[in-house]
Structure 1
């Protein structure tokens, strides 16, 4: 089942909503992935003879290919009896044309920075000091 991709503007709006949703719930993660499309979705897939002629044909395309950007909260389907039963899975995707890649990444970085403002700094364990004390205790004997 193919899903329609959002426009870049819609993607950024929904991404901001996804960051806000996970922040207000107090838990959860947002997974961001990106990959180059192996062929342009508006054209037909490459012919099998192209594979036989050059096994690495996709490393040097004739024209630059679009980038697929995805965002998800990575929640599985609702399972009965779990604490995550009330959380819906959210999946977003957009295609970025090669000529608009620089402008897209500028907005993408800004959106990610805003989404990370609510992160808490990790508490560092005091393992280093206990290891030092243990080492000192062994050498003093």
Structure 2
């Protein structure tokens, strides 16, 4: 599959996602943001959104493609190190895509360090005993 107008192919998306999770491995901070949305495109015969009807076609007759995005969530000050990439998945490719996507996410998340909530729990316990 080739690159689609600013989006990477699915195989390149998976390679970059594995690399992104690998960069977080062993790091004491950082985040990986994953989003997915229905890809809405407007054809010439489709009604355009208007002030009275901002979402004219919420239930299309055919399944729509999905756009999957990944980012490392760097701040605006660190734009040179921000990583963003996306891919488009057609409805008939979703099952296979999600199977591989889930495997990569599971493998990547095992390397992430869980959030330390002990301070929050201790604070709540202290509040409870004081009351």
Q: In structure 2, do the counterparts of structure 1 residues 25 and 50 end up closer, same or farther at CA, with 3 Å as the change threshold?
A: same
The yes-or-no answer on 1:128 pairing with 2:116 is no
117-126 vs 95-104, greater mean Cα deviation: 117-126
Alignment partner of 1:92: what SS? strand
Distance 2:75 2:47 in 1: 38
Question: How far apart are residue 3 of structure 1 and its match?
Answer: 4.9
Query: Would you identify which runs of 4 or more consecutive aligned residues in structure 1 move more than 3 Å?
Result: none
Q: 1:53-111 deviations in whole A, cap 9, x for unaligned?
A: xx44432223221100000112245x4xxxx58x6111111000101111111111111
How far the C-alpha of 1:23 sits from its partner, in A, is 2.3
2:19 aligned residue: 17
What is aligned with 1:42?
none
Q: Distance in 2 between matches of 1:129 and 1:76?
A: 34
Report what 2:7 is aligned to: 5
Question: How far apart, in 2, do the equivalents of 1:22 and 1:88 lie?
Answer: 13
Q: Is the 8 A contact 1:38 1:58 kept in 2?
A: no
Q: Which runs of 5+ in 1 are unaligned?
A: 40-44, 136-141
What do you get for the CA RMSD once the two structures are aligned?
Answer: 2.9
In structure 2, stretches of 5+ residues that fail to align are: none
Tell me the number of residue pairs that the alignment of Structure 1 and Structure 2 aligns. Answer: 123
Alignment of 1:88-127 (within 5 A): 88-121=81-114, 122-125=116-119, 126-127=122-123
What is aligned with 2:47? 50
